[in-house]
Chain A
């Protein structure tokens, strides 16, 4: 069963022209995709469609085998908990510490803090934020915020990881480390989609499919 499947999906905002047209693709479990294209091509919009936080104006989207059109709010929430998201602008809550931000997806599921504390601390150490877990986001550097955002996406052990320009704010060395982290994640069973226009990053990993957006359409290169 595909993790994500799009069939002839189109999207327009209001009465404007279609920003995405006849998008058809599927994402297999434990696969690795780069989603690329020029700025404004609709990469973030496509990620939001995959996360079911946007509704297409036409076409069919299935997530984990479920038709998005038939899902009620509770079912969408349940499916979203199987997806990890890294936002382009990190979206860390500034009044919560790094630890609290990373633990957020577990906290909103109603889990007791004691049940996930060790898990979160371990992940923070793994992404190199073991010494920064008590500080608030404004104190973190761009790279540290990026890693905190990635850790928050990984803490739920997602079956699908959607990352929007996850290496956009880091130096090439850290970008390579983050890519290795994503590859490890894929090997452990997660389907990974990374939206980026960093050609150098894409060249570092040959085993990825390339989904290229341009003029509202998608071209797939395996």
Chain B
């Protein structure tokens, strides 16, 4: 009976309470700061990834296409000439698909500028042939141009080089701006987290002093705080990263609902499908993890600096 009585309180003694208090107002504030900064950094990184993907898609699709224009020449049936140009194109080994625009289709292309319901019969509307390249094959433009000028006089080939050059400059500029914004957000994030960590650490100076005085090694004290602050960082980072992933998934959902509208088409052509892919989502989680690590390292440095001042 006595043994049981003596044993009871001893069983309750082991609580495995961490040496750094698990929760505090400063700790909660730090988690909030980390969550918000991770969310913002993840949105910026995700935006940069989307723009990069979309721009490479524009470049790819424009670079894989070229246009042959057949002008009207007196005494020649332009539709026959267009069919001939189409045959010349099909004869090229690197050509995958050829679409010859008929008179009606060519006139319809002018509708956005001239309006509908007009009689364009009197206008010398040229015919267009869209040539799509076969994947993995390099086009031989010199021989194609020579064949066209020989078999279809009055035709011209536009390989979109000028347009593509401008597009590449524009796309690279957008990606560069996105990267600069991301770098600025990362710098602001690290600074904010460093200050928040310093603030949270200020409330724990007493603990560092006591542990130091009762004979704890510096590395032991630093590891206790590092573990605690990495925990706070992981909590904040995870909240921020998961929120950012949800935001992108929601954007993707809305984009897929909106895709049928003309506005949706424009958005899709500019930004793609709002799908980040596994790499993008992995990058977002990595931002959260990196921020947790920054928080842990900051706390370790602050502890060592404080201990250096004590001894």
User: Which residues does A use to contact B, with CB under 8 Å?
Assistant: 51-53, 55, 73-74, 76-77, 80-81, 83, 85, 87, 91, 93, 95-97, 99-100, 104-105, 107-110, 113, 117-118, 121, 133-134, 152, 156
Query: What are 6 inter-chain pairs, A to B, with CB distance below 8 A?
Result: A85-B213, A100-B13, A100-B17, A121-B9, A133-B13, A134-B9
Pairwise interchain contact B215-A93, C-beta atoms closer than 8 A = no
Q: Which residues of B contact A52 (CB under 8 A)?
A: 311
- In the assembled complex, the CB of B26 is this many whole angstroms from the nearest CB of chain A, namely 14
Among A73, A91, A113, A156, the residue within 8 A (CB) of B215 is: A156
- Do A77 and B213 have beta carbons less than 8 Å apart? no
Given contacts A100-B15, A108-B211, A118-B10, 8 further A-B contacts (CB under 8 A): A51-B213, A55-B311, A85-B214, A91-B210, A96-B19, A99-B13, A117-B14, A156-B215
Query: Measured between C-beta atoms, what is the minimum distance from B167 to chain A in Å?
Result: 61
Q: Residue on A with the closest CB to B23? A: A95
* Contact across chains for A76 and B206 when beta carbons are under 8 A apart: no
CB of B311 within 8 A of CB of A76, answer yes
Asked if B227 is at the interface (CB within 8 A of a chain A CB), the reply is: no
Contact B218 A81 (CB under 8 A): no
Cβ–Cβ contact B215 & A77, under 8 A? yes
Q: How far is the CA of A42 from the CA of B212 in the complex (A)?
A: 21
User: Complex: how many Å from CA A152 to CA B10?
Assistant: 18
B311:A53 contact, CB within 8 angstroms:
yes
The chain B residue with its CB closest to the CB of A91 is B210
B220 at the interface (CB under 8 A from A): yes
For residue B151, which residues in chain A have a CB less than 8 angstroms away from its CB? Answer: none
A-side contacts of B21, CB under 8 Å: 95
CA of A201 to CA of B43, assembled, Å: 68
Once the chains are docked, how many angstroms separate the CA of A73 from the CA of B311? 9
Inter-chain residue pair count (beta carbon < 8 A): 74
Contact B212 A95 (CB under 8 A): no
Q: How far is the CB of A158 from chain B (nearest CB, A)?
A: 10
**Judging by beta carbons under 8 Å apart, are B311 and A113 in contact?**
no
Least Cβ–Cβ distance between A117 and chain B, in angstroms = 6
- Which A residues are CB-close (under 8 A) to B207? 93
Q: Which of B4-44 contact A (CB under 8 A)?
A: 9-10, 12-15, 17, 19, 21
Chain B, residues 206-238, CB within 8 Å of chain A (1/0): the string is: 110111111111101000000000000000000
Q: Is the CB of B13 within 8 A of A104?
A: no
Find chain B residues with CB under 8 A from A93 CB: 19, 206-207, 210
Complex: how many Å from CA A121 to CA B210?
Answer: 21
B74 at the interface (CB under 8 A from A): no
Minimum-distance CB pairs A-B, first 3:
A108-B216, A81-B215, A105-B214
1/0 per residue B43-54: CB within 8 Å of A?
Answer: 000000000000
If A95-B17, A100-B17, A134-B12 touch, whether A105 touches B311 (CB-CB below 8 Å) is: no
Contact A73 B218, CB 8 Å, known A53-B212, A53-B213: yes
Q: Is the CB of B9 within 8 A of A133?
A: yes
Is B310 interfacial (CB 8 A cutoff)? Answer: yes
In the assembled complex, the CB of A71 is this many whole angstroms from the nearest CB of chain B, namely: 10
Q: Establish whether residues B210 and A117, one from each chain, have CB atoms under 8 Å apart when the complex forms.
A: no
A14 to chain B, nearest CB (A): 13
A164 to B217 alpha-carbon distance, docked (Å)? 23
Contact partner, B10, options A51, A55, A77, A121, Cβ 8 Å: A121
CB-defined contacts of B311 to chain A, threshold 8 Å = 52-53, 55, 73, 76
| Interface pair B14/A113, CB less than 8 Å apart | yes
Query: Nearest A residue to B220 by beta-carbon distance?
Result: A108
Tell me the residues in window 279-294 of chain B with beta carbons closer than 8 Å to chain A beta carbons.
none
B215 touches A109 (CB 8 A): yes
Task: Compute how far the CA of A196 lies from the CA of B10 in the bound complex, rounded to whole angstroms.
Answer: 36
Minimum distance in angstroms from B20 CB to a CB of chain A: 9
Contact mask for chain B residues 186-212; partner A; CB cutoff 8 A; 1 contact, 0 none: 000000000000000000001101111
**Residues in A neighbouring B220, C-beta threshold 8 A:** 108, 110
User: Which residue among A51, A95, A99 has the maximum number of chain B CB atoms within 10 Å of its CB?
Assistant: A95
Complex Cα distance, B13 from A113, in Å, reads 9
A84 → B minimal CB distance (Å): 9
Contact of A77 among B12, B15, B209, B217 (CB under 8 A): B217
On whether the beta carbons of A91 and B14 are closer than 8 Å, the reply is: no
The smallest beta-carbon distance between B203 and chain A, in angstroms, is 11
Q: Enumerate chain B residues within 8 angstroms of A109, measured Cβ to Cβ.
A: 215
Which of B9, B14, B15, B213 has most chain A Cβ within 10 Å?
A: B213
B9, B12, B214: most-surrounded residue (chain A CB, <10 A) = B214
A133 to B19, CA, bound (A): 17
Closest to B206 in A: A91
